[in-house]
Amino acid sequence: MCFALSESARFGKGFLLLCKISHFYNQLWSRYFVLINMKILITGATGLVGSATAKKFLSENHEVFALARPDSDRSLLADVETKIHWVEGDILDISSLEKALEGMDMVVHTAAVVSFIPKERKAMYKVNVEGTANVVNVCLKYSIDKLCHVSSIAAIGRPDARKAVPGKDVVLDESHRWEDSPENSEYAKTKHLGELEVWRGIAEGLNAVIVNPTLILGEGDWGKSSTQIFGYIFKEKPFYTEGIANYVDVRDVADVIFQLLLSDISGERFLLNAGSISYQNLFNTIADAMHKKRPSFKVGAGLAGIIWRFEAVRTWLLGTKPLITKETAKSAARKVTYDNAKIRKALGFQFQPIERTVARVSESLLGKI
C-alpha cells in the first residue's frame, strides 16, 4: 500500500514537472513566434522617422500596419507602399485608433506636430499630448506587448543657465530633469507633456520605452523636416549660425527602435545623438557633398534677433509662415551637447558618422531634382 502511494506520488510529481516544462516551452515558442512574425502598428508612418521605421521592420520580415489619414502624403514609402497594411484613422479619433491597434503585437508612436510657431501651440497640444494619451490608453486596453514612443530631445528641457561654467561645454544626458522655463519652446512643452502620458502608462503596467532623437537627418522631401537645411545649402545661402548641431541618422533611429522593441528593456528613456558639430562645419559638409558654395557669413545673436523680428512682421502682413522664429534663432545659437552613452551601453550600438549620412542624403535629394 505504501509502495503504491509512493509510486503514485512520484508519478504525480513527474506529471506536474512535465506540465511545467511543457508550459515553459509553449511560452518560449510563443515568444519566439511573435518575435519572428510581429504585427507592428506605426503612427506617423508617412513621416521621416515613421517611414524609415516601417522599412526597417519590413526588411526584417515583419507585418507593418500604418495608421494614416486619407490625405496623407505616402511618397516616402512609395517603394514599399504595397507591402504595408494601411489603416485609415487618426490618433485623435479613438474609435479608429482602437480598430487599428486591436490584434497588434507592438506599436511605434511617431506621429507628432513639429512647429516652432507659437500660434500653432493648440494643434501641437492636441496631437503631441492628447494624441499620445489616446495611444497609451488604447495600448493598455488591448494589452499591447510593447510601445516605443518617439519623443524629442526638446522634451528634456534646457540647461540651467545659472549652473553654466564659462568656457565649458554643457553636456546633458537622461538624468537631466525638466524645469519650467521661458526658454522652453511650445513644441518642447507639448513633447514633455506627451512623455508624461507614457510614464503614466508605464506606471499602469504598460511595457514601453521612450527615445529622444536630436536633429534627425535622412532622405525626405525638399523643404520638409531637416531636409530644409539641405535645401538652404543647395540654394547657396551665405549665412551660418554660431551654435552647435546635435544630429542622428534616421536609419540609426529606426535601428534603435527595432532593437529596443525586440529587447527586454522597458520603462527606460534613451537620448539618440550620433554626435555634435558646429553649424558652420555641418553646412560646409553638406555644401561639399552637394558641390555647392560654402556659407561664409556668420550670423551672431544680434543679427539673428533682427531677422526673426523682421520675419514676424512680414508673416503677420502676408499671412505666411516665418522662415525663422525667436525660438529657432535661440536654438541655432545654443552650445549644448548630449551624451549617448546609455544607448550605446544598452544595445552596444554604434552611430553612423556624419559624413556618411550627409553623402547619402545629398545623393538622394539631388536624385529628385
Helix/strand/coil (H, E, C) string of 259-290? HHHHCCCCCEEEEECCEEEEHHHHHHHHHHHH
Amino acid sitting at position 47: G
Q: What is the DSSP letter of 40?
A: E
SS3 318: helix
pLDDT at 97 > cutoff 80 = yes
Given a cut of 70, whether residue 20 has pLDDT beyond it is no
Q: What is the pTM of this model?
A: 0.84
Q: Does any domain span residue 2?
A: no
pLDDT of 32 reads 45
**pLDDT at position 244, please?**
87
Q: Residue 55 and residue 70: Cα distance in Å, rounded?
A: 20
Average pLDDT over residues 100-126: 92
How far is C-alpha 101 from the geometric centre of its chain's CA atoms? 19
Res 61 pLDDT > 60 = yes
Structural domain of residue 87, as residue ranges?
Answer: 26-366
Quick one: average pLDDT of 223-232? Answer: 83
- Mean pLDDT computed over 264-279: 96
Report pLDDT for 301: 59
pLDDT at position 308, please?
43
d(CA 230, CA 232): 5
pLDDT for res 35:
57
Has residue 4 been placed in a domain? no
pLDDT class for 5, splitting at 50, 70, 90? very low
Residue type, 188: A
* Phi (first) and psi of residue 265, to 5 degrees: -70, 130
One-letter identity of residue 191: K
Q: Does residue 78 sit within a domain?
A: yes
C-alpha cell at 324: 525663422
Residue 19 lies in a domain: no
Average pLDDT over every residue of 311-328 = 53
List Cα–Cα distances, 339 to 56, 265, 279, 343, in angstroms: 25, 19, 18, 9
Nearest to 79 by CA among 107, 105, 53, 51: 51
Express each pLDDT in 235-258 by its tens digit: 898 888 888 899 999 999 999 999
Compute the average pLDDT of residues 35-45: 89
Beta strands in the chain (DSSP E): 39-43, 63-68, 85-88, 106-109, 146-150, 170-172, 208-213, 215-217, 239-241, 244-249, 268-272, 275-278, 297-299, 336-338
Task: Confirm whether 99 is domain-assigned.
Answer: yes
- Residue 108 and residue 50 in contact, taking contact as beta carbons nearer than 8 Å: yes
> What CATH number corresponds to the domain at position 224?
3.40.50.720
Q: Does residue 36 sit within a domain? A: yes
Q: Give the pLDDT mean for 113-120.
A: 82
* pLDDT at res. 21: 54
Query: How much is the pLDDT for 30?
Result: 41
What cell does 348 get?
Answer: 552596444
Please say if the pLDDT value at position 348 is more than 90. Answer: yes
Is the residue at 10 inside a domain?
Answer: no
pLDDT tens for each residue of 167-224? 567 899 999 999 888 878 899 999 999 999 999 999 999 999 999 999 999 998 877 7
Residue 102 domain flag: yes
> Which pLDDT does position 227 carry in this prediction?
87
Report the domain count for the chain: 1
Task: Look at residue 327 and tell me whether its pLDDT is greater than 70.
Answer: no
pLDDT tens-digit map of 281-318: 999 999 999 999 999 888 765 545 544 444 454 454 55
Residue 90 vs residues 37, 106, 151, 190: alpha-carbon distances, Å: 25, 17, 18, 18
- Pick 127 or 305 by higher pLDDT: 127
